[in-house]
Amino acid sequence: MISPAVTNIIFMLVMMQLSRRIDLENEQNIMYIRTAYVISIVSAYIVYQIVKQKIIAKNDLTKVKVISPKNPMKPEESEKVTYMTVKDYDLDQINQAVKGIWTGVAMMGFMHFYMKFTNPLFMQCLNPIKGALEHNVTRINLWGVKAEGELQRPFKSAGFLDAFTKKPEDQQKTASVADVSSNEPKIVELNDEKATATVAAE
């Protein structure tokens, strides 16, 4: 399956070429664009709800260790470590995606109806459904792609500034761990050879 990052570039280039060929001042064309955007929003919401039901049905209680990176604006703060089940993690990702839809709707509504810009609406008219179909949680729970590599939970952030603010060793710290009871041995992170030797001796 082609990476969403690649399809985003291809999609953007295609839409840019189409925007030059379509009369975005024509009222009929504007109505078509608005209709396409609404259909895209509704379709994306439906996809997320279907995925949400599949997540609930699977009820995967495997634990996922999530390490939130340090805030670059507050270097004195330490990393925040949380444990979530796969079910809760995926549902949280879906909820964030749905919130993202409504945020996008608010922005597009402001730019299109208040500022009278049609081109941004045209460029984004199919993005909601595209994003829903290519979302990591959708690929795992709807398309059946294995949660490996880039789809291993917790997902790597796709933020532009992550490459500058998150060190490679920080990314290696994130890991998925099996659900264990309190009677079983605790999971210990070994950071140096001395600690490894100590555990081996025990």
* pLDDT, tens digit (0-9, with 9 covering 90-100), for 113-151: 999 999 999 999 999 999 999 999 999 999 999 999 889
* pLDDT, tens digit (0-9, with 9 covering 90-100), for 44-80: 999 999 999 999 999 999 999 988 777 777 777 777 8
Residue 193: is its pLDDT beyond 50? no
Q: How confident is the model at residue 1 (pLDDT cuts 50, 70, 90)?
A: low
- Per-domain residue ranges of the chain: 4-201
Q: Other C-beta atoms within 10 Å of 18: how many?
A: 11
Give the C-alpha separation, 168 to 162, whole Å: 10
In the sheet where 63-68 sits, what is the strand order? 80-85, 63-68, 175-176
- Is residue 154 a contact partner of residue 174, using CB atoms and an 8 Å limit? yes
Q: How far is CA 41 from the centre of its chain?
A: 17
pLDDT of residue 78: 76
